[in-house]
Amino acid sequence: MKLIYDKIQFFGGAERVLLQIDHALNPTSIVTLCDVEDPAMNSIKGKTVCPKWGKLFIKLNYFIIFYPLVCLLSTLIVVKDNLVFCYSSTCGKYFRIKSNKSILYTNFPARGIIEPEKFVKNRILLFVVKIFTRIFKYIEKIQYRKFDNIYCISTYTKKLLKEHYQLESEVLYCPTSEIFFARNKKYNDTKPFFVLVSRLEEHKNLEFVFKTFSLINEELVVIGTGKLIEKYKKLYPKIIFKGFIDDDNMIQLLTEAKASIIPTKNEYSLPIIESFARGTPVIAIKCAASDELVLMNARENNIKLGVIFNDATVKSLKTAIETINVDINNYIIDDIIKYSEMFNPSIFKKKLNIIIDNHTN
């Protein structure tokens, strides 16, 4: 079996999921556009294979700008095997697959294609771009339809695939690393601080969070690094920036925090799942991820998982913090942890192996 993945740019959330898929399926190789050497990927089992020209698009900006060209060139990459499993939301599904069976596991559909208005603000330019995206959406649909079965990471993604591409798919919640579910270590009781785990980049929209905690009598610990870390350290000296820390220290902080701040809008959120796995509630901005993972599932399981705030503003976040402070004793750690087990990697691997067995027997 061969595994397809779009591109290994850095070790982020999608790469955590890739590792779980790799460990579950034990592929002979992982075919990808490009591969950045990262110590965190050392445990990968499949041998990564990528074209020499793939490195031209290793930078995210180049990948986005030249996305149509990337997809065109991706059709030159041939993947042969009896069974091919493709984990892709962008160019991976364009690889030329020659197999008896092929399975797609997809994240959110390419945002620039289905939501161009979020990237292009000029009305005239947006009109031109939409003509192009209508054509490209048809091409994307052809790529989706070449797979025998399609699985997706969330109910929201399933809805979008149906709405934009008229595709049927099945939800398979993707997991994070098993280290967050380990119960072999005990940490101190909850301490009076909040935690934020994120890359410190412009598109993450974090500045309103730092402004909020600079104005209130609460402590915020930030885990993660990025281009803006030095800028943020200078602008917000009250905030504790830990930078990159090892998994054990990150888990300890997640476990001991009063709540985890989730300020970035996403269709799915591993930081939410990682917080729940440690029994920690979240304060999350309203988006597809928080609607599904926090609100919807809290109602279905009759438990308290966190607080949702509507706007990326100091006022909205401040109100959410005040709300969780008043209600913090009503959050039952064991209930949150029990709920998180549905995202346990062991459950994901079992489901994945059942899918593979159904396609090979």
More reliable by pLDDT, 9 or 63: 63
Whether residues 233 and 159 share a domain: the answer is: no
255, 187 Cβ separation under 8 angstroms: yes
The number of distinct structural domains making up the chain is 2
- Residue 286, domain CATH: 3.40.50.2000
Whether residues 190 and 166 share a domain: the answer is: no
Whether residues 14 and 72 share a domain: the answer is: yes
* Per-residue confidence band for 186, with pLDDT thresholds at 50, 70 and 90: very low
More reliable by pLDDT, 186 or 105: 105
Across the beta sheet with 2-5, the strand order is 47-49, 29-32, 2-5, 83-87, 101-106, 149-152, 170-171
Range of the domain at 137: 2-175+344-360
Whether residues 44 and 160 share a domain: the answer is: yes
Phi, psi torsion values for 295, nearest 5 degrees = -70, -55
Nearest one of 11, 9, 10, 13 to 271, comparing CA atoms:
13
* Residue 320: partners with Cβ closer than 8 Å, 6 or more residues away: 283, 307, 308, 309
- Residue 356, domain CATH: 3.40.50
pLDDT tens readout for residues 108-157: 888 778 888 877 778 888 888 888 888 988 999 999 999 999 999 999 99
* Residue 236: partners with Cβ closer than 8 Å, 6 or more residues away: 210, 211, 213, 214
* Residue 261: partners with Cβ closer than 8 Å, 6 or more residues away: 194, 195, 196, 209, 220, 282, 283, 284, 317
Whether residues 127 and 247 share a domain: the answer is: no
| Integer Cα distance of 249 and 46 in angstroms | 29
Q: Has residue 38 got a pLDDT over 70?
A: no
Whether residues 110 and 89 share a domain: the answer is: yes
Q: Return the amino acid letter for 240.
A: I
pLDDT tens readout for residues 189-220: 556 899 999 989 888 989 999 999 999 999 99
Whether residues 54 and 197 share a domain: the answer is: no
Q: What is the gyration radius of the CA atoms in the chain, in angstroms?
A: 21
Dmax (CA) for the chain in angstroms is 61
Crossing angle, helix 13-25 and helix 270-277, to 10 degrees?
A: 70
Q: Which pLDDT belongs to residue 10?
A: 67
Whether residues 167 and 53 share a domain: the answer is: yes
Residue position matching structure tokens 């998180």: 340
The proportion of the chain whose per-residue pLDDT surpasses 70, expressed as a percent, equals: 95
Whether residues 14 and 154 share a domain: the answer is: yes
Q: Per the structure block, which two tokens stand in for 86?
A: 């493709």
Q: Has residue 60 got a pLDDT over 90?
A: no
More reliable by pLDDT, 8 or 82: 82
Whether residues 81 and 154 share a domain: the answer is: yes
Whether residues 197 and 328 share a domain: the answer is: yes
Q: Has residue 184 got a pLDDT over 90?
A: no
pLDDT tens readout for residues 258-304: 999 999 988 888 899 999 999 999 999 999 889 989 888 777 778 88
pTM of the model: 0.84
Q: Has residue 171 got a pLDDT over 70?
A: yes
Q: Are strands 259-262 and 282-285 parallel, antiparallel or unpaired?
A: parallel
Whether residues 191 and 233 share a domain: the answer is: yes
